Chain A
Amino acid sequence: NAGVMQNPRHLVRRRGQEARLRCSPMKGHSHVYWYRQLPEEGLKFMVYLQKENIIDESGMPKERFSAEFPKEGPSILRIQQVVRGDSAAYFCASSPRRGYEQYFGPGTRLTVT
């Protein structure tokens, strides 16, 4: 049973470009969470999704950021018109049900130049 997969592992974007981060949850998990870790800081919640639904996006900036978890395929975190402050590690986690133990992916390290 493969763990949570994220790709790419490293992503470099120039200011103004778009970044797309993908997360494939563990088999059987329909709940996905995205977190951001800024350099030298702790993890911060961004968004919680269940298949085809956004449950809680209170941690996600209102502009430029969006997330989806379609019926088929991975969850996508999309950052439009990236700025240097978006440089961070983005982790996703999945769980089989709300409130259950979450399993983390290896993260995507985004660098904006």
Chain B
Amino acid sequence: KNEVEQSPQNLTAQEGEFITINCSYSVGISALHWLQQHPGGGIVSLFMLSSGKKKHGRLIATINIQEKHSSLHITASHPRDSAVYICAAPDDKIIFGKGTRLHILP
């Protein structure tokens, strides 16, 4: 069993829809990392959060350390949001989820 589990694995939605990606982890961590990997392969750090909620533009990330669960939300989704979203538990060696492949249709 992977120590960091993401759901769903794949998600296709229409432009404008509200998107939620979930991440559950079994390791003991003090913070969680959300990453975005574009179709071209580049990786961008979206958030690192240890409690509560963070917002950046249309992206919102929440975390509940006690329940070991985090969510990434995208409001008013757009085709350019199409990417793989990865949650990761940073420690000495970061443990990655398998990623959620998001495809937003115009």
Contacts and interface: CB of A to CB of B under 8 A. Distances in A.
The answer on A and B forming one complex is: yes
B106 interface: no
Given A42-B98, A89-B41, A107-B43, A102 B90 contact: yes
Interface string A63-100: 00000000000000000000000000101000000111
Interface size of A as a range = 20 to 34
Main secondary structure of the interface of B (DSSP, over half): loop
A4 to B, nearest CB: 10
B86 A45 contact: no
A12 interface: no
A99 B28 CA distance: 13
Interface string B20-44: 0000000000110101000001111
Main secondary structure of the interface of A (DSSP, over half): strand
Nearest to B47: A101
Contacts of B31: 99
Nearest to A57: B93
B92 A107 contact: no
Category for how many chain B residues contact A: 20 to 34
A104 B43 contact: yes
Given A42-B97, A42-B99, A44-B96, A107 B42 contact: yes
Interface in B9-29: none
Interface in B27-66: 30-31, 33, 35, 41-45, 48
Contact of A45 (B33, B95, B98): B95
Interface in A3-38: 33, 35
A74 B41 CA distance: 22
B11 to A, nearest CB: 16
20 contacts: A33-B93, A35-B94, A42-B86, A42-B97, A43-B43, A43-B88, A44-B96, A48-B92, A48-B93, A55-B92, A99-B30, A101-B45, A101-B48, A101-B90, A103-B45, A104-B35, A104-B43, A107-B41, A107-B43, A109-B41
